Amino acid sequence: MILLQTIPDLRRHLEERRRQLPAGAVVGLVPTMGALHAGHVSLIHAARKDCDCVVVSIFVNPTQFGPAEDYHAYPRTPQADCEVCERNGVDVIFQPDPHEIYPVPPRTQVHVAGLTAGLCGRSRPGHFDGVCLVVCKLFNIVQPQRAYFGQKDAQQATVIRRMAADLDFPIDIVVCPTVREPDGLALSSRNAYLTAEQRRQASALYQALQAMQQAVREGLRRAPEITARGRAIIQASGPAAIDYLELVDPESLEPVESVDQPVLAALAVRLGRCRLIDNMPIEPLPVPCWTATPETR
């Protein structure tokens, strides 16, 4: 494994590797902000399985944080991250300084309209523009054939997929399932901010998603009735500010009124200074259909 910190060094290294690998070799990119956990490792494993060369980028991207957000406090654990990468068969870590990626303030914006308006986009204006800008830059710097993202950040994955399609990046966007703690809490670098009490309370997010799934299984179809079940669980768990809790179309991310097709249940909740997000795809069971047979006729 090699750790590189500048764009020219990375480009040179990957050029050399591509020369050595057989024609058609696949480079996979796993973009991260570090403080690596088992969720990130699942993306690394997926990339390791599919690709000849696995590049993990570790970069806390300033342009995706709002002025009042946690850019400076975001956990940074570079030494431990290197060990995780080494143990899990990563070939190249790209860990640039902010100045390497943004030598001057960027004037270019990458805005995916519509998909970024709701859910996290509503309370984090400009967040997805920052994500798209840095992912675009990483795609250009690394030029991978595949890039790996987590379902945990479902809106991000949908936005990136659309950006890659709209801008003709010849890159397969692979979305990997959410890795959870035994009590259902989705792994996140931000879980480190939780107090012991908030950590106990945080399992209510997954319980809320499960309750909404259960409501659909019981035959509920109207979104307000289904989301009320999720809200009740979070409110009963203790002091929490629900940023959003919605059922949306998994492609357009538009809110749905009625669950007649597969939907995405998505939520963001603040516990103290920690904002947690999670989601669950939910499929309505087909309405039972009794076909008359000669016996039942």
**Which positions from 223 through 242 interact with ligand AMP, judged by CB under 6 A?**
none
Query: Whose Cβ is closer to ligand AMP: residue 153's or residue 246's?
Result: 153
39 makes contact with ligand AMP (CB under 6 A) = yes
Interaxial angle between packed helices 38-50 and 78-87, expressed in degrees from 0 to 180 and rounded to the nearest 10? 40
Instruction: Establish whether 40 is a catalytic residue.
Output: yes
153 makes contact with ligand AMP (CB under 6 A) = yes
The type of residue at 124 is: R
33 makes contact with ligand AMP (CB under 6 A) = yes
Window contacting ligand AMP (CB under 6 A); options: 135-143, 145-153, 208-216, 228-236: 145-153
SS3 breakdown of the chain: % helix, strand, coil, rounded to 5?
40, 20, 40
Among residues 94, 139, 149, 206, the one that binds ligand AMP under rule CB under 6 A: 149
Cα atoms in the Cβ-side hemisphere of radius 13 Å centred on 296: 4
How many beta carbons lie within 10 A of that of residue 65, not counting itself?
Answer: 18
**Which positions from 232 through 291 interact with ligand AMP, judged by CB under 6 A?**
none
40 makes contact with ligand AMP (CB under 6 A) = yes
Total count of residues recorded for the chain: 297
Catalytic residue among 40, 72, 99, 111, which?
Answer: 40
Task: Identify the residue whose tokens are 């966007």.
Answer: 173
**Which positions from 174 through 193 interact with ligand AMP, judged by CB under 6 A?**
176, 178-179, 186-189
Give how many residues touch ligand AMP by CB under 6 A: 17
Please count the helices (runs of H) and the strands (runs of E) in the chain: 9, 9
Q: Which residues are catalytic?
A: 40
